[in-house]
Amino acid sequence: MKATDYSELTREARRLALAAGHEIMRIYAAGTTTRLKADNSPVTEADEAADRLIVAGLEAAFPDIPVVSEESVETTGLADRGIPAGPFWLVDPLDGTREFISRNGEFTVNIGLIEDGRPILGVLHLPVLGQCYVGEAGVGAALWPEDEEPTAIATRDIPATGPVILASRSHLDPQTEAWIADIASGTTTNAGSALKFAVLARGDADLYPRFGRTMEWDTAAGHALLEAAGGMLSGPDGEPFRYGKPGFDNPHFIARGRPAGQ
């Protein structure tokens, strides 16, 4: 799989994700202060620096495509109405701020493109590990580190010993715990941020249930990556998972590496 297999949109999103990762790691090494946003979630200088870099880059490269980013959505007036139609970017410039603050390395840069309510491309960058994943509908998914050629990745069949289930490290809720407890076999691994989608997409795990609150920018890039790798994300009862809702709140979901029957 060559880099030219991917569209200009994917290549530019990857470039910006890598650049944001460098800025995040600079601040990670130097140390930063934390403040609370209006919803009591933490934000750091790294979140805001990555937001500025990515939003400015996407707007310059693709001026006709709106950008919805976690750290600047309130200033755009989009938070209350959503985007019902037309392509738009969903960006989480630093997903896993709590993991960044705790310095466990489990944070990501997420850039996804939505069209007709569906994620059609996603870039998921793990700055500490130097891993960058890309997925594009109709093309496939790959691990594409900086200065290297992309290597194709794919989801796996659930092993005979049972599924590996991924659960949030910082946001595990009782409903998700109960769902996991109902699985007859398998093992559970806790991890932070959207990196769980990368683990599913590369075939190292099988299920990621989430009944706690998430926002569209938390999942868009990972959702696109997972589908491009052969997986799927849906509501707990299999209902389609759509983007561009007022407020950008997600419903509950189950992400699956390899859906049954495929």
pTM > 0.85: yes
Query: Alpha-carbon distance 228 to 257, whole Å?
Result: 11
Q: Is the four-CA dihedral 172, 177, 178, 179 of positive or negative sign?
A: positive
Query: Alpha-carbon distance 218 to 19, whole Å?
Result: 19
- Encode pLDDT of 136-177 as tens digits: 999 999 999 999 999 999 999 999 889 999 987 766 678 888
Q: How many domains is the chain built from? A: 2
Q: Where are the alpha helices (DSSP H) in 168-211?
A: 174-181, 195-201
Domain residues for 233? 164-256
Query: Alpha-carbon distance 78 to 173, whole Å?
Result: 28
pLDDT the model gives residue 48: 95
194 and 122 in a common domain: no
- Encode pLDDT of 82-139 as tens digits: 565 689 999 999 999 999 999 999 999 999 999 999 999 999 999 999 999 999 999 9
Instruction: Write the CATH number for 59.
Output: 3.30.540.10
What value does the mean pLDDT of the chain take? 90
174 and 143 in a common domain: no
- Encode pLDDT of 239-249 as tens digits: 999 999 888 99
187 and 139 in a common domain: no
pLDDT the model gives residue 204: 96
Mean pLDDT, rounded, for 22-27: 97
Q: Domain ends where: 104, 121, 153?
A: 153
Query: 32 lies in a domain?
Result: yes
Phi, psi of 65 (to 5 degrees): -110, 115
pLDDT the model gives residue 130: 96
201 and 123 in a common domain: no
Q: Domain ends where: 131, 153, 175?
A: 153
